[in-house]
Amino acid sequence: MSEENRRENEILESYRNRNQRRDDEPSILAEIFDFIKSVVISVIIVFLLTTFIVKPIRVDGSSMYPTLKDKQIGFSNILSLKIGGINRFDVVIVYVPQQEEYLVKRVIGLPGETISYRRDQLYINGFPIDEGFFDQDYVDEVKSKIKGNFTSDFPEFTLADDEYFLMGDNRPFSSDSRRFGPFKLSNIISKDAYIIFPFDQIHFIIQ
C-alpha cells in the first residue's frame, strides 16, 4: 500500500471514529427535550386520572371514625359516581365552600326527602331507617361517655331536588350538613373509599 493510500485510510478512519463518537454521545438538548416531554406526559396523565377517574384522599380528623381513621391515605372513585350516581349511605368526597376544603362524609338524605332524627333513630319521609354501617360497640361506648344520644335530635328537614344531606359516622364529633347545610350534587366529587396506607389498615368501603 502506498504512503498516499495509507494516509487516506487513516483520515477516513479518523473521520468515521469522530462521527461514531458524536452519534454515541446524546445531545444535551435532546436529553432536556426528553425530560420535558416525560414531565408533560406525566402531568397530563395525572390530570386526566384525578379529573375523570380517581380522587386522592387523606383522612384528616376523626369525623368518620371508626369507618375511616385519621391520617389514612387512599383514593375515591370519580368514574363510579358519574356512572352509578349517588345512593343512600354511600361514602363520598364533598367540597365544602365555607372551608374551601374536601371532606369525607356519608350520604344520609337524598333529593326531595324529608329527614329527621329522634332518639338516635333516622326517619326518612316519616319512616324509620336502619343505619347498619355503625360499629355498635363504639356507638354504645360513646353514648355512655357523653351521657346522651349518639346523633343529636333535629326536626324534620326537607331537601330540595338537587340537595343531599351528608353526615360523618362519628356523629358527636363531625361537622357536616348539620353545620354547613345540605350539599348540591356539583359539590360531591367522588364516592367510595379505597384505603391503601398505612399498609396494615388497607380496606375498601364500597356500598
Q: Which residues are catalytic, by number?
A: 63, 105
Cα separation of 165 and 108, whole Å?
6
Cα separation of 29 and 104, whole Å?
46
The CA–CA distances, whole Å, from 138 to 78, 116, 135, 198, 206 equal 30, 22, 5, 22, 21
Cα separation of 103 and 58, whole Å?
9
Q: Are 192 and 146 in contact (CB under 8 A)?
A: no
Cα separation of 117 and 54, whole Å?
33
Cα separation of 197 and 99, whole Å?
26
Cα separation of 71 and 74, whole Å?
10
Can you tell me which residue has the cell 396506607? Answer: 197
